[in-house]
Structure 1
Amino acid sequence: MRVLGVDPGLTRCGLGVVDGMPGRPLSLVAVDVVRTSAQDELGGRLLAIEAAIEQWLDRFAPDTVAVERVFSQHNVRTVMGTAQASGVATLVAARRGIPVVTHTPSEVKAAVSGSGRADKAQVAAMVTRLLRLDVRPSPADASDALALAICQVWRGSAQRRLQAAAAAAGRERR
């Protein structure tokens, strides 16, 4: 399974692609951060993020896109930018028929570190370890995008198996 993880943000939007299956070693395919300037017009910034995600979908052909679920913060401007970038990622994938899932930050932290309260350094350390990398992905947006992809590889596979079992049970009752 190949997953594109998107850590949405207007100034820095993390993108990370991971190949893997539960119970098997994970592989890093690619990681980067799309940067836009706060001085640029909003529409142009969103178009830059859209273009980058479109290129990644063309280049890496993920099976699923995992996007961080927007959560409330004290800074409304940050939440708005995050939500807008998240919407762009969701739209671009949906336009191509690629399933999009969202995970909360605490779900992602728990999946990769075992604790939903892990800090960014702990998440980055575990991403580095799980992907057997020589150096930590930087900045944090990059490791967060990879953590989202890892979370989906592990949790998404379990969710699919549960859905398949429920569907099979429903067919047996008929």
Structure 2
Amino acid sequence: MRVLGIDPGLTRCGIGVVDGTIGRPLSMVEFGVARTPADAHVSARLLAIEAELEAWLDRHSPDAVAVERVFSQHNVRTVMGTAQASGVVMAAAARRGLPVALHTPSEVKAAVTGSGRADKAQVAAMVTRLLRLGAPPKPADAADALALAICHVWRGQAASRLEAAVLAQSTRRTP
């Protein structure tokens, strides 16, 4: 399964692509950051993020897209930009018929490090180890995007298998 992970942001939008299946070693395909200038109009910034994302979708043809779920912060401006970038990502994926999964920061941290309270350095260290990289991905937004993709490979596939099993069980019982 190939997963495109997105750590949404208006100034820096982390992007990472991971290949893997449950129980097998993961592999990093590519990572990077879509950057937009803070002085540009929001609409131009969102358009730039969409264009960058479309290029990644064309280049990597992922099976799914994993996006960090926007959570409430003290800075409403930051939350708005993050939510807007997240919406652009979800719309681009939906346009291509790709499944989109939202994962909370604590869910991603727990999946990658074993602790939902891990700090950014711990997440980056585990991403480096799990993907057998020579150095932690930089900037942190890219490491976070790879962590999202890893989380989805492990949790998303398991959830999909459970859903399929429940559906199969229910259809066998239906007369």
Question: TM-score, normalised on structure 1?
Answer: 0.99
Matches for 1:48-87 after TM superposition, within 5 Å:
48-87=48-87
1:43 aligns with 2:43: yes
Structure 1 position 165, deviation (Å) = 0.6
> Mind listing any 5+ residue stretches in structure 1 that lack a counterpart?
none
User: 1: CA distance between counterparts of 2:57 and 2:139?
Assistant: 22
Superposed CA deviations along residues 5-62 of structure 1, whole A, max 9, x for unmatched, are 0000000000000000010000000000011111011111000000000000000000
Asked if 1:24 is matched to 2:7, the reply is no
1:115-152 per-residue CA deviation (whole Å, 9 max, x = no partner) reads: 00000000000000000000100111000000000000
Q: Which runs of 4+ in 1 moved over 3 A?
A: none
**Aligned residue for 2:111?**
111
- 1:40 counterpart SS class: coil
Whole-Å separation in 2 of the counterparts to 1:37 and 1:77:
15
Q: How many residues align?
A: 174
Post-superposition offset of 1:112: 0.1
- Report the alpha carbon displacement of residue 171 of structure 1 after superposing the two structures with TM: 1.2
Corresponding residue of 1:120: 120
Q: Secondary structure at the match of 1:32?
A: strand
Identity of aligned residues (%): 73
For 2:111 and 2:45, locate their aligned partners in 1 and report how far apart those are by CA, in whole Å: 31
Residues of 2 paired with 1:144 and 1:4: CA distance?
Answer: 12
How far apart, in 2, do the equivalents of 1:78 and 1:91 lie? 20
The one-letter amino acid paired with 1:60 is: H
* Structure 2 unmatched ranges of 5 or more: none
Cα RMSD (Å) of the superposition? 0.4
Q: Distance in 2 between matches of 1:139 and 1:9?
A: 13
